[in-house]
C-alpha cells in the first residue's frame, strides 16, 4: 500500500505548474472572461509541451497515461482556472474514442488529439432543467448512409472552439442509459449560440442540429453507447474534481498570503483565530477532496469495484465543499474579495457551475446510497 | 500509488486475525462487547486481557524486541490497526504506559530506569498515569506550577494535577513539575517519575458527563521521589514534553474505527423501523448515510496518504489533519446516531438505542483532550500553513 505520488508524477506536476505560470497563470482565465478567445493560444502552448498526448494510447502517438496521471495535469490547470476544453478532450473524449472507436476513427482522431490539432467537447443536455440521463432526448434517425440528428443540445462547453463534439442521441425510446447511440460530429454542421453563463471562463452553447445528416460519425454500438457514456461522464467528473482541488489549494494559498500581509488593529489578520481557524478548515477540506479525487482516479484507472462510488464521493465533496471553501476565501479577503478584480469569484463560479452539471451533490449522494445500502 | 499488500503482509494480517479470533473474550466477535459493570470485575477483566495481549506478543508491537515488542515496521503497524478496528477489542489497560510513558523513558531514561520500568509497562503489572494538566493549566502546559524542590537526594513535590486519567489505580505517575521559576516559563520544568503509593499523594475521582470516573484530581502534599527518578536533566523537562515519541510509531486515526461504526449504523438502519418502514428506506436518512460514507472515506484515505508519507520518511505537520477531521466526522456521526434512536433516545445504559448517546458524549472528550480542536486549528494554521502566531505564543 502506497498512497503517494511517484517522483516522476511530482516532477510532472511541478513542470505543468511552472509552465502555466510562465504563460501568465490566471491571466488567461481573466482574458477569456473579458471576451477574448484564448483557447487557441492555450492549446498551442499545451501541445508544445505534449500535454494533449498524455491520455492518448501509445499506439496512436500518445503517452498512454492513466486518469490519475491526467488528474495531476487537471489539478494544475485548476489552480489557474485554465480556459479550454481540457477535461472534455483528454478526460472525456480520448478514453471514449479508445474504447468505442473503430480502427479508422482511432487513426483519424487520436493522433490528431495527441498532436494538439483536434479538440473535443460533449453535448449532453437537450433539456437544461432535467438531470442525466433523462435530459438526453435528441432522436437520431437512420438514413441510407448514416443518421439524421434533429434537435437542440444545450450547455455544450466550448462548442465554437472545438473540432468535434460527442453527441449522445436516442435511437430507441428510453429515458435511462439504454437506447443511446453516440455520435462524434463536427459542430460546424450545427448552429451554435453562446449562452450567458455564470462562469465566464468556460463558455456554454446551444447547439442546434437542424436535420443534420451524418455518416461515419457513429461512435460505438447502436443503442448501446449508454454504458460507455456513463463511465465517460464519471471520468469527466473526476477531471473536474481534480481542477477544483487545484483551485482549492490555490484558494488556501491566497488566504494564507492575505492573512500574513493584511493588517488590522496593528496585527496581521492571520493572527486572529477567527481567520486562522477558517483557513485551517479550508485546508482540511482541500486535503479531504484531494484524497477522494486521487482515489477515484486511481480506482477508475485500475477498474476497481468501488470506482463508481468513489467518483460520486469525490464529486459531491469537491463541488459542494470546495464551493463553500471558495466563498470562505472571498470572505477572508473582505470587501476586496467581493470585487471583480479579485480572483476568488472565478473559482467559486466554476464550482457552482460544476456542482449541477454532471449530477447534483444530492444525486451523487443518492447514487452512493443506492450502491452501498 | 497502489493499495495492494504483499503476501508477507497478508500473512501477518492472518496471524493477527487468527490470534484475535482465538483469544478475544467469549462472544466478543459476535458483538457481545459489554464490559463488567462492577468496577473490580471490570479491572480484573481488563487485567486479564492485557496479560493475554502481552503473552501473545501484541501489547506493543512497535516497541523494540529487547523491551518485549516486535520491532514492527510501520506497514505492520498499519495492518495491526486495521485488524484491531475490525474486531474492536477491549480497551488496553496499559495504553497510557505503552503509548506515552514508555517512549519517554526509552528516549530520556537511564539504563536503570529502562530496565526497572519498561518490562512492567508491557506486561501490565504496573499501571501509569500522566501529570500534565493543572487547575489553571490546560492548553498552555508551560505555565505549570506544581512545585518540586531539590532536597539533595530527593525531590519534594507540592501542588495539584487534574484530568489525570487512571490516577486512582495507577502505580506510577509520570509528571511535569516546576523546579525553577526564575527564568522563561519553558525553562525550569522537570519531568519526574513518582510513586503513587505514598502518603503525600491523594486523589479524588472526577465524575464525567458519561457517568464514568476515569479522570482524577491528584494532590501532592510533601510527596517525594528519589533523585534517580528524574527523566532527562533537572529543569529540562520541556524537551521531554515536546519531543516526538521515540519508538517509530505509526500515526493513529479514528477513521478505521469510524468505518466499522458506519457499517454498524447501516445495519441498525436496516433493522430499525419507523411506522413499519426501515430507516434505511427514508430518502433523507439515505442521503445522510452517503454523506458520512464519503467523509469517513475521506478521513481514511487522507490517513493512508499521511501514513504513506510517514513510510517514505517525509511526514510533516500535515499529520495534524487526522485528529481534527476525524473527531469532527465522529461528532456528527454520533449526533446523527442519537437522532435515529427515536423517542427511545431518552433512555440510558443498556436501553439506549445503539449505545449512541454515550458515544456522542464521549467524543466530546476526544475533541478536548490531547490538544483541543481549537489548538489543532492553530497548529494547522501556523505549522502547516505558516500563518503568524497569535499573541498567546
A58-62, A285-289, B35-39, B301-305: least confidently modelled range: B35-39
Q: Is the dihedral of CA A371, B3, B7, B13 positive or negative?
A: negative
Q: Do A259 and B388 touch (CB under 8 A)?
A: yes
Q: How confident is the model at residue B139 (pLDDT cuts 50, 70, 90)?
A: confident
Q: Do A4 and B312 touch (CB under 8 A)?
A: yes
Is residue B211 located within the same domain as residue B309? no
pLDDT at B391: 72
Domain CATH code at residue A12: 1.10.540.10
pLDDT at B102: 93
Is residue B132 located within the same domain as residue B230? yes
- Domain extent, residue B273, equals 255-384
Reply yes or no on whether the pLDDT at B246 is more than 80. no
Is residue B285 located within the same domain as residue B216? no
Is residue A159 located within the same domain as residue A132? yes
pLDDT one-digit tens code per residue, A132-184: 999 999 999 999 999 999 999 999 999 999 999 999 999 999 889 999 999 99
pLDDT at B244: 60
Is residue A201 located within the same domain as residue A282? no
pLDDT one-digit tens code per residue, A93-137: 999 999 999 999 999 999 999 999 999 999 999 999 999 999 999
Is residue B210 located within the same domain as residue B301? no
Within a domain: A85: yes
Window 319-358 of B, Cβ < 8 Å to A: 321, 324-325
In the predicted model, what is the mean pLDDT of chain B?
93
pLDDT at B123: 87
- Nearest beta carbon to residue B1 from set A5, A313, A366: A5
Is residue A214 located within the same domain as residue A339? no
pLDDT at B30: 87
pLDDT one-digit tens code per residue, B64-93: 898 889 999 999 999 999 999 999 999 999
| Interface contacts A/B by beta carbons within 8 Å | 149
Distance CA B211, CA B207 (A): 6
B344 and B351 Cβ atoms separated by less than 8 Å: yes
Is residue A234 located within the same domain as residue A346? yes
Domain CATH code at residue B285: 1.20.140.10
Distance CA A263, CA B340 (A): 47
Arithmetic mean of pLDDT, A268-272: 97
Sequence-distant (6+) residues with CB within 8 A of A305 are none
Is A224 in the B-facing interface, judged by CB distances under 8 Å? no
Is residue B70 located within the same domain as residue B178? no
- Pairing between β-strand A263-264 and β-strand A218-219 as defined by DSSP bridges: unpaired
Within a domain: B167: yes
Rg of chain B, C-alpha, whole Å: 22
Arithmetic mean of pLDDT, A296-311: 97
Arithmetic mean of pLDDT, A11-26: 97
Within a domain: A184: yes
Is residue B261 located within the same domain as residue B163? no
| Residue B112: alpha-carbon gap to chain centroid | 27
Structural domains counted in chain B: 3
Window 49-88 of A, Cβ < 8 Å to B: 68
Is residue B235 located within the same domain as residue B260? no
Reply yes or no on whether the pLDDT at A79 is more than 70. yes
Q: Do B2 and A2 touch (CB under 8 A)?
A: yes
Is residue B66 among the annotated active site residues? no
Within a domain: A2: no
- Pairing between β-strand B128-131 and β-strand B172-178 as defined by DSSP bridges: parallel
Distance CA A221, CA B328 (A): 48
- Nearest beta carbon to residue B390 from set A273, A310, A365: A273
pLDDT at B392: 57
Is residue A332 located within the same domain as residue A239? yes
Within a domain: A1: no
Within a domain: B352: yes
Reply yes or no on whether the pLDDT at B393 is more than 60. no
Distance CA A358, CA A312 (A): 10
Reply yes or no on whether the pLDDT at A249 is more than 80. yes
Arithmetic mean of pLDDT, B134-139: 91
Is residue A264 located within the same domain as residue A363? yes
Arithmetic mean of pLDDT, B353-376: 91
Distance CA B298, CA B309 (A): 16
- Domain extent, residue A137, equals 121-219
pLDDT one-digit tens code per residue, B208-229: 999 999 999 999 999 999 999 9
Reply yes or no on whether the pLDDT at B332 is more than 90. yes
Reply yes or no on whether the pLDDT at B170 is more than 90. yes
Q: Which of A188, A219, A250 is the last residue of a domain?
A: A219
Domain CATH code at residue A236: 1.20.140.10
Reply yes or no on whether the pLDDT at B146 is more than 80. yes
Is residue A365 located within the same domain as residue A230? yes
Give percent of chain B with pLDDT exceeding 90: 84
Is residue A198 located within the same domain as residue A291? no
pLDDT one-digit tens code per residue, B342-355: 999 999 988 998 88
Arithmetic mean of pLDDT, B179-193: 95
pLDDT at B245: 61
pLDDT at B44: 92
- Pairing between β-strand B273-274 and β-strand A263-264 as defined by DSSP bridges: unpaired
Q: Nearest Cα to A314, choosing from A334, A336, A298, A330?
A: A298
Is residue B151 located within the same domain as residue B67? no
pLDDT at A181: 98
Contacts 24+ apart (CB under 8 A), A16-23: A16/A49, A16/A51, A16/A72, A16/A73, A16/A76, A16/A77, A17/A76, A17/A79, A19/A45, A19/A49, A20/A76, A20/A77, A20/A79, A20/A80, A20/A82, A21/A80
Query: Residue A9's CB: how many other CB atoms inside 10 A?
Result: 16
Q: Measured between alpha carbons, how far is residue B49 from residues B37, B65, B230, B372 in Å? A: 16, 21, 31, 31
pLDDT one-digit tens code per residue, A318-335: 999 999 999 999 999 999
pLDDT at B247: 72
Is residue B138 located within the same domain as residue B220? yes
Is residue B85 located within the same domain as residue B143? no
Give percent of chain A with pLDDT exceeding 90: 99
Structural domains counted in chain A: 3
Is residue B262 located within the same domain as residue B232? no
pLDDT at B114: 94
Q: Which of A117, A135, A165 is the last residue of a domain?
A: A117
Is residue B309 located within the same domain as residue B354? yes
Amino acid at each position: 500500500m502506497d498512497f503517494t505520488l511517484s517522483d516522476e508524477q511530482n516532477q510532472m506536476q511541478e513542470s505543468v505548474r511552472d509552465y502555466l505560470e510562465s504563460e501568465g497563470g490566471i491571466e488567461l482565465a481573466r482574458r477569456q472572461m473579458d471576451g477574448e478567445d484564448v483557447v487557441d493560444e492555450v492549446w498551442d502552448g499545451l501541445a508544445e509541451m505534449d500535454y494533449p498526448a498524455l491520455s492518448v494510447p501509445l499506439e496512436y502517438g500518445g503517452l498512454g497515461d492513466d486518469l490519475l496521471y491526467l488528474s495531476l495535469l487537471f489539478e494544475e490547470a485548476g489552480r489557474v482556472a485554465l480556459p479550454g476544453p481540457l477535461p472534455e478532450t483528454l478526460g472525456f473524449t480520448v478514453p471514449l474514442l479508445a474504447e468505442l472507436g473503430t480502427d479508422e476513427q482511432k487513426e483519424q482522431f487520436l493522433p490528431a488529439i495527441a498532436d494538439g490539432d483536434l479538440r473535443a467537447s460533449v453535448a449532453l443536455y437537450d433539456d437544461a432543467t432535467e438531470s442525466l440521463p433523462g435530459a438526453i432526448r435528441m432522436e437520431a434517425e437512420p438514413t441510407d448512409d448514416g443518421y439524421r440528428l434533429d434537435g437542440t443540445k444545450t450547455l455544450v462547453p466550448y462548442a465554437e472552439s472545438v473540432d468535434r463534439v460527442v453527441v449522445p442521441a436516442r435511437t430507441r425510446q428510453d429515458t435511462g442509459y439504454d437506447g443511446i447511440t453516440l455520435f462524434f460530429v463536427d459542430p460546424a454542421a450545427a448552429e451554435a449560440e453562446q449562452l450567458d453563463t455564470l462562469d465566464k471562463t468556460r463558455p456554454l452553447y446551444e447547439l442546434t442540429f437542424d436535420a443534420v445528416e451524418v455518416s461515419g460519425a457513429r461512435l460505438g454500438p447502436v443503442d448501446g453507447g449508454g454504458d460507455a457514456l456513463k463511465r465517460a461522464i464519471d471520468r469527466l467528473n473526476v477531471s473536474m474534481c481534480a481542477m477544483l482541488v487545484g483551485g482549492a489549494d490555490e484558494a488556501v494559498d491566497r488566504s494564507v498570503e492575505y492573512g500574513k500581509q493584511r493588517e488590522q488593529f496593528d496585527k496581521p489578520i492571520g493572527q486572529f483565530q477567527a481567520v486562522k481557524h477558517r483557513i485551517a478548515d479550508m485546508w482540511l477540506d482541500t486535503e479531504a477532496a484531494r484524497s477522494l479525487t486521487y482515489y477515484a482516479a486511481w480506482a477508475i484507472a485500475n477498474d476497481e469495484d468501488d470506482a463508481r462510488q468513489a467518483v460520486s464521493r469525490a464529486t459531491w465533496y469537491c463541488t459542494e465543499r470546495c464551493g463553500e471553501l471558495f466563498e470562505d476565501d472571498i470572505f477572508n479577503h473582505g470587501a476586496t474579495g467581493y470585487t471583480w478584480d479579485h480572483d476568488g469569484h472565478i473559482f467559486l463560479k466554476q464550482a457552482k457551475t460544476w456542482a449541477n452539471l454532471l449530477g447534483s451533490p444530492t444525486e451523487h449522494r443518492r447514487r452512493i446510497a443506492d450502491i452501498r445500502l | 500509488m497502489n493499495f495492494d499488500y504483499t503476501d508477507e503482509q497478508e500473512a501477518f494480517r492472518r496471524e493477527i486475525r487468527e490470534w484475535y479470533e482465538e483469544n478475544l473474550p467469549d462472544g466478543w466477535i459476535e458483538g457481545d462487547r459489554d464490559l463488567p459493570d462492577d468496577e473490580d470485575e471490570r479491572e480484573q477483566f481488563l487485567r486479564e486481557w492485557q496479560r493475554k495481549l502481552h503473552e501473545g506478543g501484541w501489547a506493543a508491537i512497535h516497541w523494540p524486541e529487547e523491551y518485549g515488542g516486535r520491532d514492527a515496521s510501520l506497514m505492520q503497524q498499519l495492518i495491526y490497526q486495521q485488524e484491531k478496528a475490525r474486531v474492536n477489542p477491549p480497551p488496553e489497560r496499559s495504553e497510557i504506559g505503552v503509548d506515552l510513558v514508555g517512549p519517554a523513558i526509552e528516549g530520556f531514561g537511564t539504563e536503570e530506569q529502562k530496565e526497572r520500568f519498561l518490562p512492567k509497562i508491557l506486561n501490565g503489572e504496573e499501571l501509569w498515569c500522566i501529570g500534565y494538566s493543572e487547575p489553571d493549566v490546560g492548553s498552555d502546559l508551560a505555565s505549570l506550577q506544581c512545585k518540586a524542590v531539590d532536597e539533595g537526594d530527593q525531590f519534594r513535590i507540592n501542588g495539584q494535577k487534574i484530568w489525570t486519567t487512571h490516577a486512582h489505580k495507577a502505580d506510577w505517575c509520570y509528571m511535569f513539575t516546576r523546579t525553577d521559576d526564575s527564568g522563561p516559563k519553558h525553562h525550569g520544568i522537570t519531568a519526574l517519575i513518582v510513586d503513587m503509593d505514598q502518603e503525600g499523594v491523594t486523589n479524588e475521582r472526577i465524575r464525567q458527563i458519561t457517568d464514568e470516573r476515569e479522570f482524577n484530581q491528584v494532590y501532592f502534599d510533601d510527596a517525594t521521589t528519589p533523585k534517580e527518578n528524574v527523566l532527562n536533566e533537572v529543569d529540562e523537562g520541556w524537551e521531554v514534553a515536546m519531543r516526538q515519541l521515540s519508538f517509530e510509531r505509526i500515526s493513529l486515526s479514528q477513521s478505521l474505527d469510524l468505518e466499522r461504526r458506519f457499517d454498524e449504523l447501516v445495519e441498525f438502519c436496516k433493522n430499525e423501523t419507523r411506522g413499519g418502514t426501515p430507516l434505511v428506506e427514508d430518502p433523507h436518512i439515505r442521503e445522510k448515510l452517503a454523506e458520512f460514507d464519503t467523509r469517513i472515506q475521506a478521513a481514511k484515505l487522507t490517513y493512508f496518504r499521511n501514513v504513506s508519507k510517514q513510510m517514505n520518511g517525509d511526514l510533516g505537520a500535515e499529520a495534524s489533519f487526522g485528529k481534527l477531521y476525524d473527531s469532527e466526522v465522529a461528532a456528527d456521526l454520533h449526533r446523527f446516531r442519537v437522532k435515529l434512536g427515536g423517542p427511545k433516545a431518552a433512555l440510558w445504559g443498556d436501553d439506549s438505542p445503539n449505545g449512541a448517546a454515550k458515544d456522542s458524549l464521549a467524543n466530546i472528550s476526544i475533541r478536548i483532550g490531547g490538544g483541543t480542536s481549537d489548538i489543532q486549528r492553530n497548529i494547522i494554521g501556523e505549522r502547516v500553513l505558516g500563518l503568524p502566531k497569535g499573541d498567546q505564543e
